[in-house]
A and B are shown apart, each in its own frame.
Chain A
Amino acid sequence: MDQTHHLRSARFRAEREADWQLLEQLVSLAERRGLHRMEFAQARDLAASYRRATTSLAIAREISLDRALLEYLEALTARAYLSVYAPQERLGGLVSRFFLTSAPQAMRRSWVFIVIGFVCMGLGALTGYLLYLENAAWYFVFLPPELAGGRTPEATTGFLRSVIYDRDPDSSGLGAFATYLFSHNTRIAIFVFGLGVFLCAPAILLTFYNGLGLGAIMALHVDRGLGWDMGGWLSIHGVTELSAICIACGGGVQLGAALLFPGVRTRRDALQHAGRDAVKLALVAALMLVVAALLEGFLRQQVQDINTRYAIGWGIGALWLLWFVFAGRVRK
């Protein structure tokens, strides 16, 4: 009798080699063309063959000392595992699912944190407003000069009015859109979200600080009798943009809260869990910032009528609210 047939591992390999080679072909097919474009029989064979290969690997580890065989089986099974457990989601389905169900559901689940975001901003605005009325010098503390753009307590009422109703060709169009998108508020939103991980405090403080500036500039215009006009100028994009900052703050606070109060989970698990909703909040905030930049770049200086400005700004705000409240409700 030949020596080969004494070797159990060699017999084991000879019996299964054809199956492994079939699996190898199927795996390369799945990697080239994708699982969803394979025929039914091929996909079925891939799954079955993969499971047989895992069994073979488990047995081979026990009975064989052939390193080449072990390494081959290991690599083949790993490769098959990767293609069997590939993400099976279509892009179109992904986008529509985000807009129709997952984003509004996440918004509703984390409404407490979003309310915290709005409260921070509101309290900031109120504080800024009252402090300005008490002493106008606070204005320079709250608003950095490059953001104020000359709108200081020393400026004339005429200048303030001209900023509100100015048709500057440079401040509309694509360039302006891009500039606005990467402007102050977007940076604030990013920081507010990202810094929330550090136990909430930076996110809350930054949102509050942003509110201070808002309150101060409102107080300045109200002081000059331009409050209603300023409101319109801000509303057209501000409703969307400031809400985006508050929502980003909500996402950041959610992450921070997961670290502070992990509950029964470990902190890492709690952070991962909170991340699922927080990321959707961040995506919603990003979308809102893009819309706000579009409004700011293309509409703000074009629409001169104050009532239209209010209507556009708060109308779009109402649309956001409708989306958050009513989209993706599951009928019980």
Chain B
Amino acid sequence: MRLWPRRKVRPSPDVILPPEGVPLTLRVAGVGVRLTAQITDVLITLTGMACILILLALLNLTRPQTLFAVAALIFFLIRIPYYVVTELVWNGQTLGKRLMKIKVVSHDGRSLGTHAIVLRNLMKEAEIFLPGTLLLTLDSAAPIASLAAFGWVVMAFLIPLFNPHRQRLGDLLAGTHVIHLPQPVLLKDLARDAPEPREQGRKLTFLSHQLDHYGAFELQTLEGLLRADDRQLSPAAYANHRKTLATIIEKIRRKIGYGDPVPPEDHAAFLKAFYTAQRAHLEQRQLFGDRRADKHHAEADPRA
């Protein structure tokens, strides 16, 4: 009996459903990364503004009294097209976003439209830049306006913190959010290049009941451990790694009831052989509709 109702299961914010109907995992970018990208972009546009301002000053087109207004105007005129054009040309990435390897995507999995890009970047003006400018230019004589602008900016910063997709106001209106760009790296198949598993000349074999103990989680943990072996390790770390392998083999042997002890030189080969056999077994079970998430699969199965 359940004492309190089950919490509503929310779909993971990282999943996007493209028109092909196969859900893809695109990790939502955090506030920190986005802020860094934003600061980079502001620095780039500010540099552009400074260059033009110096040029204007050299050409004697500005007067000291109006310098601030002209600077604000140039910053404004550079900033607005900068965001829209870069995100259009580089498919949702400004220079700062390219640097941080993040990207704007459409929330509904469809193509990122022009309207969405223009809207989210114009809202950025209304959210941050204009109240920010107001905050900088207003003096203490008008505390109410300053406070209002300050409150507005704080609210604009808080909205993404309470949103599972880290959307700011402009993202909400435009139906977009920002993701980490995934990096495809194809590692080699551990089961494929497994060395001939031998133990004192005999082939290592595992029986079906010996492979019934573990699930996918343990298998993939073992996979991570075996892949770590491929990297270059310092002597101390290598010794440590060997020790871990020995412990794990002892645990596996006890759990599955594998009688023969494994000599140290065969440790890696034993684990690889065990990985291959275990994976074959679990994949076989999965094909028959018996998905085993982890070693508790027997208890978790309600039919058992």
Bound-state Cα–Cα, A266 to B197, Å: 62
1/0 per position for B16-54, CB-CB distance to A under 8 A? 001110101110000000000000000000000000000
B173 within 8 A of A: yes
> In the complex, which residue of chain B has the Cβ closest to the Cβ of A271?
B173
With both chains docked as a complex, state the minimum distance between the C-beta of B265 and any C-beta of chain A, in angstroms. 20
**B184 cross-chain contacts in A, Cβ below 8 A:** 24, 72, 75-76, 79
User: Which B residues contact A (CB, under 8 angstroms)?
Assistant: 18-20, 22, 24-26, 56, 61-63, 65-66, 69-70, 72-73, 85, 88-89, 91-92, 103, 105-106, 110-115, 117-119, 122, 126, 130, 134, 172-175, 181-192, 194, 197, 216, 219-220, 223-224, 227, 273, 276-277, 279-280, 282-283, 286-287
A2-49 interface (Cβ within 8 A of B)? 3-4, 6-10, 13-14, 17, 20-21, 24, 31, 34
Interface of A is mostly: helix
Residues of the B chain whose Cβ atoms lie less than 8 Å from the Cβ of A4: 191-192, 194, 276
Residues on the B chain within 8 Å of A75, using CB: 182-185
- Of the residues B63, B173, B189, B273, contact of A68 by C-beta under 8 Å: B189
Contact of A78 (CB < 8 Å), options: B62, B92, B182, B227: B182
Enumerate chain A residues within 8 angstroms of B85, measured Cβ to Cβ: 91
Contact A67 B114 (CB under 8 A): no
Q: Is A272 an interface residue (CB 8 A)?
A: yes
A126 and B130 CA atoms in complex are apart in Å by: 31
A residues near B (Cβ < 8 Å) are 3-4, 6-10, 13-14, 17, 20-21, 24, 31, 34, 51, 54-55, 57-58, 62-69, 72, 74-79, 81-83, 85-89, 91, 94, 170, 174-179, 181-182, 187, 190, 193-194, 268, 271-272, 275-276, 279, 282-283
Determine whether the beta carbon of A275 is less than 8 Å from that of B119: yes
Smallest beta-carbon distance B121→chain A, Å: 10
Please list the 6 inter-chain residue pairs (A to B) with the smallest Cβ-Cβ separation, ordered nearest first. Answer: A175-B66, A75-B182, A75-B184, A76-B184, A178-B73, A68-B187
- Rounded to whole angstroms, the CA-CA distance of A65 and B112 in the bound complex is 33
